[in-house]
């Protein structure tokens, strides 16, 4: 009886192995695919239909922990993606379209606190990028157009008070820029042109009283 069971198990394993990693006569991947590291641990697993990935693919660290999940849709052209730390906490999440980043991507520290948020369009940064302190409050906001800084730029103190406010034009600081003390009073203010300070800049003490004026030449 034990002999028959052993034969059945070996036969079942052989059949299952034969059904993995199949390529049809047209050279297209079909069915369930699995690949392993040289140490024997699973590297990834997922399913193909006519060479198109379908459903959820799982990718693993060499040490065995889950590293990445990709859930494919739109005939395999898009994938909702989740990246994990080895401790199981989420590291990043976002969307790939045609294997390039698209829409909103979120990044987290090891304690699962959001530390960075980016907006992509066809692989390029387009929109407001937010950076956060490790405890979760907002640190910085910058706007991008096709990977180039354009528009409002803000930074904040840990207490949420505005630290600076300025603007970018084609990747360079342009126009009025103001720096603040943590109590909200203005520390300094003046103009930038082509990423260079110009004209009169005023510097104040922490009480907001004018302290120094410096003239910058173009």
Q: Which residues pair with 100 in a beta bridge?
A: 97
pLDDT of residue 178: 97
Closest CA to 192 of 177, 179, 202, 206: 177
Structural domains in the chain (count): 2
Which pLDDT value is given to residue 15? 38
126-to-58, 98, 119, 123 alpha-carbon distances in Å: 29, 17, 6, 9
Q: Answer yes or no: is 24 within a domain.
A: no
**Does 180 share its domain with 217?**
yes
Q: To 10 degrees, the CA torsion angle through 57, 62, 66, 71?
A: -20
| pLDDT the model gives residue 217 | 85
- Counting as low any pLDDT under 70, the low residues of the chain are 1-18
* Residues spanned by the domain of 166: 113-218
Domain contains 185: yes
Assess whether 102 and 181 both reside in one domain: no
C-alpha torsion sign, points 90, 95, 100, 103: negative
Retrieve residue 177's tokens: 């820029």
Kind and range of the H or E run holding 56: strand 52-60
- Provide the CATH number for the domain around residue 133: 2.20.110.10
Examine the domain organization and report whether 104 and 119 are in the same domain: no
Q: Which of 108, 126, 148 is the last residue of a domain?
A: 108
Cβ(195)–Cβ(187) below 8 Å? no
- Specify the residue for token string 């009169």: 200
Is residue 160 one of the residues assigned to a domain? yes
- Whose tokens are 């040289």? That residue is 38
Phi, psi of 4, rounded to the nearest 5 degrees: -65, -40
Is residue 137 within 8 A of residue 160, CB to CB? The reply is: yes
How many angstroms separate the CA atoms of 43 and 218, rounded? 58
Q: Residues 181, 198: one domain? A: yes
Choose the final residue of a domain: 82, 108, 134. Answer: 108
């Amino acid at each position: 009886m034990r002999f028959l069971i052993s034969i059945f198990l070996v036969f079942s394993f052989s059949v299952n192995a034969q059904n993995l990693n199949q390529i049809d006569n047209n050279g297209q991947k079909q069915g369930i695919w699995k690949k392993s590291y040289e140490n024997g641990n699973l590297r990834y697993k997922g399913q193909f239909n006519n060479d198109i990935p379908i459903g959820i693919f799982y990718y693993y660290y060499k040490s065995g922990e889950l590293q990445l999940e990709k859930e494919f849709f739109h005939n395999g052209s898009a994938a909702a993606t989740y990246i994990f730390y080895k401790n199981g906490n989420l590291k990043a999440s976002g969307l790939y379209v045609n294997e390039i980043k698209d829409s909103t991507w979120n990044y987290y520290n090891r304690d699962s606190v959001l530390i960075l948020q980016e907006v992509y369009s066809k692989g390029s940064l387009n929109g407001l990028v937010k950076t956060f302190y490790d405890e979760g409050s907002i640190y910085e906001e910058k706007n991008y157009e096709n990977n180039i800084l354009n528009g409002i730029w803000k930074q904040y103190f840990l207490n949420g008070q505005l630290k600076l406010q300025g603007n970018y034009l084609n990747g360079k600081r342009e126009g009025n820029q103001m720096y603040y003390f943590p109590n909200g009073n203005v520390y300094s203010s003046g103009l930038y042109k082509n990423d260079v300070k110009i004209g009169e800049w005023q510097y104040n003490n922490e009480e907001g009283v004018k302290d120094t004026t410096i003239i910058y030449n173009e």
